[in-house]
Structure formats: C-alpha cells, structure tokens
A = this chain, B = another copy of it.
Amino acid sequence: MARSWATFGVDLHLEPTGPHLRRGLTDALREAVRSGRLPSGTRLPSSRSLAADLGIARNTVADAYADLVAEGWLTARQGSGTRVATGVAPTPSRPRGDSGVPPTGAAPPRPERRRPAYDLRPGTPDLGSFPRAQWLRAARRALTAAPSDALGYGDPRGRAELRTALAGYLSRARGVRADPERVVVCSGFAHGLGLLAGVLRARGVRTIAVDSYGLDEHWRLLAAAGLGMTALPVDERGTDTRLPGGVGAVLLTPAHQFPMGVPLHHDRRAAVVDWARHTGGLVLEDDYDGEFRYDRQPVGALQGLGPDHVVYLGTASKSLAPGLRLGWMALPPDLVEEVVAAKGGVDSSGVLDQLTLAEFLTSGAYDRHVRAARLRYRRRRDALVAALTAQAPAIRVTGIAAGLHAVLRLPPGTEEAVVRAAAYQGLAVHGLTPRHRHPDAVTEPLDALVVGYGTPPDHAWSGALDALCAALPSGENGSDLRFPG
C-alpha cells in the first residue's frame, strides 16, 4: 500500500495532530487531483489501509475523503470505493501553436470546487438571521453618544458600559452574581479559556478535569498552556463531578453538556462547588448556549452557587454571531488582576462593537433577538425530531430540548459511514468521535452524529434536513446504509 500511495506522487506535509493533520491531508489530496498527479478515475486506497500506511487515525482519512467528495473532487459509490471524479483533473498539457495562443480545447478544464451544499456542523448559529439593520442602528446610536475618550486606550477589562450592561443581563437572564468590576470582556470563549489556562498554569495548576466528550479545540488550548487533562465520565445526569486528586480546575458545560446535551444534575452541581470550596480549585463554566432552552426556563448558571469559586464564561458567538469576537467572563475577585495581566494589560475588543452590544443589551434589542432566535431554533429542533421519527425511526435524539445542536445516536460501527454518506449527499456534518471524544475518554465509545440544526440559513434548512435523512440508516443495525463503510 505504501508503494501504491507513493506512485501517486503525493507530497504530504502533515502536521502532527488535530485538525491541521486532516486539513493537511485534504489539501495534499486536493492538490494531487488538481495537478493531475491523481488522474480522473483513480481508485484511492480504503481509508483503513491509507490510515495504517500513514500511521494516523482512520477517521482522519475518512473525514478528508468525505470533505473532498463534498467538494466534488472525489466520488464514492457502493462497490466501487472512492475515486477521483471525472473531469476535475487537468488533461495532459499539449504544445502551444506558433501563435502562442493555446489551441481551442487545450486549456485544462477548471476543476469544479464546490462547498457542501448543506451544512449541519455544530457551533455556528444561523448567520442569515443576524440582525444587521438593528445592529447598525445600535452602532450609530452608540458611536454618536460615545465621548471621544471612549476611542482611546481603555480599561483592559473592557468598556464600563458593556461590563455594566452584561452584569445586569447575566444576573437577570442567567442568575449570575455579576459585578461589573469583575466582568472581563474577551474575544470569544476561546480567548477567555486561553487566558484562564495561562493564569491557572502560572498559579501552579498542573491538571484540569474535562469531559470525556467535549470539543477538541478547547483541549488543544489547554494543552498549549501546559495543562494536563483528566477526562471525566459523562452520563445521563451530565458530567460525573467526583474529581480525582491532583486536579486544580474543571471545565464544564452545566446548562447543556456539549455535545451530549444533558444538563448537570443538581446533586452534581452542588458537589462540584463544594469541591472548589474545599480544595481551592476553580470551576470554569462554559455557558455557550444557556439562552436557548425550549421545554422550560433554563437552569441558572452554576456560578450563582459559588461566585468566588466559579468563572462564568459567556459569548455572543451563539446568540448573535461568532464574527463579533465578543465573549465575557464573570470572575472571582482574586482572579481579575491576573486575567488582566494575561491580556497584556490592554483591552482586546473593538470599542465600537463593545458599545454597540451594550446598547443592544440595554435597549432590549438583544432580548428581542434571542426570543426570535429561540422560536426559530425550537421549530427546527421539532422538525428534526419529527423527520427522524418518520424516516429513520432507529435513530434516537439524546439530550434536552435546548441549544443549537442535537446528538443522533447511530447503530454501532456506522458513524464514519454515515458521515461519508452525508458528504455524498452534499451535507457536511460531524461525527461524535473524531472531534468530540477525548483521547483519554473513560466513557464508552459511541457512534453518533452531532447535528448543528442552528447552522443553515432558513432557505437551506429543509434541504439540509432531507439530505441528513437520506444519509441515515433506517434499520436497527445500519444494514441499509446508503454508503459503504
């Protein structure tokens, strides 16, 4: 297999880990097709054998194949494996005529690069419903009212107007015990987590507990800050918060475990705050989608139980848009100075966006937007559940009616095949295992999709749902998969 791969002449500069590896493999394969080194019709090695050949995870290869099928570079047909698509590789170059103009028909066909027609990857809200007109109006009001001083180097914690508005909103909507003096604005959750990881490491913390199922990007940030991780079990009551010794902090998603979708049981909520009180440990509460619950009032933030031991982290990335790059932390008092120092002692976020969000919060525009979004996402979730019941009754949706994503449990051993089948339907969707299962996970492996039903714009939603249903097996054991494993 190594030989047959080498004959492709594919030069693989692979990064050692994570998404870089997958991206590197995808890029290398795409380039090999584009350049003609992999001619049309070439049958690629199976994902299993290529993975073994390269010494990487099979899912990484399967993901790269799925991406390239979705982009149109490769095709996948039952019984025929994965092949280079027809017409995307250049024809062999011919000598030019004397005129210097290439003879008609000699130009290589333009490879047809297309993005997936449908996107149900989790993590992004419906960007088509971003309230552009209201945001621009608020920006105009905010910038018109702002004193000139507001345009200077500001408080490294962020603008006072925004910290005050956030403290009021978080107290009212999420039960956070927030004092504007202890709110620090950051460029989204990842920025805040990176700052906190650095502070924890500088305080001497060596190990942070994380969920066995979570988000690999967060684990990479923690590892980059020099923190070791211990993975906690996740079950139907959320994260098992019996923390082993030697752990100095724990990262949790109490309102809606990401990605498994269950809230943290109240006994466990109390237990983890007790743990922090007794050990001096720190709880990092990632409240990424706390505003979106459809069956009842959302459970209040864990931070309310122990504001001196819990860091509350929120973000505008799910409620408004990730492109705003706005997040916030409500910090225990003794952490503020260190977090500000970790920010380099300067504010990180543009003052105009900060003032606009403050205006959005205090004018009620934020509440109105969230209410409308909640209704829209709730309808989508209901439509997803109804479609699955009708078309794929073997698929179970786990977790509470909340947030922007759902976990679809699949028959054992079918996850990778379903992701590839989805790619074949022009649908990008994430399997649970490659991005969301911690390498040291103690919870049993599961086959599942993480479906971001909030992601598509309204006009693409029903098409995305149809593509999803077409990719799912309807039988109990996945025997009727639309795509070969």
Contact = CB atoms under 8 A, between A and B. Distances in A.
Contact of A151 (B15, B194, B322, B347): B322
Interface stretch (A131-139, A272-280, A359-367, A404-412): A131-139
Contacts of A297: none
Contacts of A351: 321, 323-325
A439 interface: no
B187 A323 contact: no
A351 B153 CA distance: 20
A325 B344 contact: no
Contacts of A194: 344
A345 B215 CA distance: 14
Contacts of A154: 322-323
Interface string A445-470: 00000000000010000000000000
A5 interface: no
A451 to B, nearest CB: 17
Interface string A125-148: 001101010011001100110001
A353 B128 CA distance: 19
Interface residues of A, number: 50
B124 A153 contact: yes
Contact of A350 (B128, B350, B457): B350
A346 B144 contact: no
Contacts of A11: none
B123 A153 contact: yes
A152 B124 contact: yes
Contact of A130 (B127, B148, B317): B148
Contacts of A124: 152-153
A188 interface: yes
